[in-house]
Structure formats: C-alpha cells, structure tokens
C-alpha cells in the first residue's frame, strides 16, 4: 500500500529554532545509529521511520559509519527516500557525519579535507540525494589543523552538498575555535551534537555557555544514557538486554548496578509527573538543548518517547528533587 503521511503530523510536535539560524528542529529527532542496517529487517526500519514522520519528527540523524555494516543505515534511508518518502524531501532534515573510521588506509578516518569531502559524496550516493541538510565533523582530529576541517565543511556548503554544517563531541575550547573559523569563512556553525543526559552532564562545564554566546544550536545524543534512563533496568539486568551482552562496549553491567538506586528513584518521580522515566529524562534534557536524538528498535518506543513533548515543564521542587537523586551516587 502506498504510504501517505498523517495529515495531523505537525499539530503537536514543538519545533525549536536552532541557535540564531532560520532552521527549526523538532524537539525529538530520530537517530539511525543502530537498528537501521543489515542487522534488522527492512520492514521494521521502514515502520519506525514512517511512524516517526507521522508523529512530526522531521529530522533524521545519520552518519557514514552507521549500520551495521558501515553505510547501511544511509542505504536504508536512501531506499525510503526513493519510495515511501518520495515527494516529502522538502519536509525533511537529513543529517550525516564523518569522523570515525570508514575505510582502510590513511584517508578514511578523522578530519582531513580529503576524508570529509569524499565521505560526504559517498553519503549522498548512498541516500540518492543532491545535498544533506546538515553535515558534521563527527569528532575532533588532534592531528589535523581545525582550519582544514572547518574549511572542508565550508567547501561542502559552497559546493551545494550541504545546507548547514555542525560539529560533534568537540570540547568547549575546540568549539570556540571551530565557530570562529567557520564564521570567518562565511559559513556559520549551525549546531553542536554532544552526548548529554542526566548521567552525562559534561557540557554544563563550559560548552553550553559557548553555544549560547555564539548562537549555536545543540542536539543531544544518548539522552537516555544507552537505555539506563528507561524502564528497562528497573528490576536489574534482563538477560536479553544491551548491558547483559559482553560484546557491547557502550553499556556494562557495572554501570547499571552503580546507577540502579538512582534509576528507581527517578522512575518514582516520573510516575508522580504522569510520565515514564524515558519521557521525563527527555523532557529534562530539553531544558538545555534544542533537540534530543532518540534511538529505537520498534515503533512503539518512538511513540512513547515522543510522549515527552506533552509535559516538558518542571517545577522548581521537581528539579531540586532530580538534583538530589543525581547527587546520591
């Protein structure tokens, strides 16, 4: 059956101006890091993307190495853009990145001009696009001058391959330099993508001030702390969970055990607010950032997470209670 987008898709999702730009992002964006490559059925990936769009999520966050295998998530998006989402391109924000290892040899990693421009062109081919809306330097390169990396981003905009550019995981000091270089080149930095959650608050140590001062937007990845800030681990570690998988390098059983009392206390507070723990965690992060990137393995998770938009405000007492819980490690 031919897909037709929900005509009510724009009635509830808040859209927030990204820094001082003219671009607005949905409060909730969908990340395609996991579960959109060869490891999952295409039908499930399709169902998640279309459900997200029906709920007002217009921003889909990708990178050259998302899969598995690397590039597979962009191929999935390309297939959707050529079929179900054909005709909706101008309603979508498609972002991609380069900065982690993508192909063998000295030119397939980090932040050289050679790598960034070649990678963007490959991403465009995989998705069947003339341009991406946002292209990021995925991480800082300690060996490449920041002027070269930012110059490559500037070139991609001037070549019409990207409309906006951003950076990810840059420190406050690195961000200040990158923003200055891009400004001098005439291509402002639109957005910074850091990790940020109740359990990962490093950006509050200076980065948020730099972004506010410079008028740069922000979008948080891992706002649910790899699933810690969900109902998944309330009773411990399920046998089929990410934390139980010894091959998973992002969430260990030790991290769950250390945080378990905090997770349970935050869950009780979320219940008092009439939210799930995940919804409260997303709403909390949205006090600081422009948008949050959610991941999902099935459409129902997207529906639940988008429910955060219905209760974004916190009382002073609630914020104080959260701080007390987080301080009690």
The residues spanned by each domain of the chain are 17-227+288-298
- CB contact set of 213 (below 8 Å; sequence gap of 6+): none
And the tokens for 206?
A: 């200076």
And the tokens for 138?
A: 């995925």
Nearest to 303 by CA among 52, 4, 46, 26: 52
- Return the pLDDT at 303: 98
Can you give the C-alpha Rg of the chain in angstroms? 19
Q: What's the CATH number for 17-227+288-298?
A: 3.20.20.100
Q: What is the pLDDT of residues 89-116, one digit of tens each?
A: 999 999 999 999 999 999 999 999 999 9
- Return the pLDDT at 240: 58
And the tokens for 176?
A: 């200040």
> d(Cα 270, Cα 260) in Å, to the nearest integer?
15
- Return the pLDDT at 233: 85
Distance of CA 325 to the CA centre of its chain: 26
Q: What is the pLDDT of residues 217-272, one digit of tens each?
A: 999 999 999 999 999 888 877 655 565 555 655 666 677 788 999 999 999 999 99
- Return the pLDDT at 196: 98
Residue 164 Cα distances to 62, 91, 95, 124, 155, angstroms = 15, 16, 9, 15, 11
Q: Is the pTM of this model over 0.85?
A: yes
Residues of the chain with pLDDT under 50: none
């Amino acid at each position: 059956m031919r897909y037709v987008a929900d005509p009510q898709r724009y009635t509830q999702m808040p859209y927030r101006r990204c820094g001082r730009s003219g671009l607005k992002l949905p409060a909730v964006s969908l990340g395609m890091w996991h579960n959109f490559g060869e490891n999952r059925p295409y039908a499930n990936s399709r169902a998640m993307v279309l459900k997200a769009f029906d709920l007002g999520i217009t921003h889909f966050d990708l990178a050259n190495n998302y899969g598995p295998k690397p590039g597979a998530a962009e191929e999935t998006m390309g297939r959707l853009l050529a079929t179900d989402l054909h005709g909706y391109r101008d309603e979508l924000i498609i972002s991609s990145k380069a900065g982690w290892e993508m192909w063998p040899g000295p030119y397939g990693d980090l932040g050289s001009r050679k790598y960034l421009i070649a990678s963007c062109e490959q991403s465009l081919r995989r998705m069947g696009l003339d341009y991406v809306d946002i292209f990021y330097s995925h991480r800082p390169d300690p060996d490449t001058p920041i002027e070269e990396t930012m110059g490559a981003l500037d070139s991609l905009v001037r070549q019409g391959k990207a409309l906006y550019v951003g950076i990810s995981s840059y420190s406050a000091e690195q961000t200040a330099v990158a923003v200055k270089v891009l400004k001098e080149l005439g291509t402002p930095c639109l957005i910074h993508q850091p990790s940020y959650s109740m359990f990962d608050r490093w950006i509050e140590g200076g980065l948020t001030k730099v972004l506010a001062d410079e008028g740069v937007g922000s979008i948080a990845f891992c706002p649910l702390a790899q699933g810690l800030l969900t109902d998944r681990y309330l009773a411990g570690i399920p046998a089929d969970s990410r934390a139980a998988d010894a091959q998973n390098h992002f969430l260990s059983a030790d991290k769950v055990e250390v945080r378990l009392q905090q997770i349970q206390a935050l869950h009780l507070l979320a219940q008092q607010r009439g939210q799930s723990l995940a919804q409260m965690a997303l709403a909390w992060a949205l006090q600081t950032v422009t948008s949050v990137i959610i991941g999902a393995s099935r459409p129902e998770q997207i529906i639940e997470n988008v429910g955060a938009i219905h209760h974004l405000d916190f009382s002073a007492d609630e914020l104080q209670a959260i701080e007390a819980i987080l301080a009690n490690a």
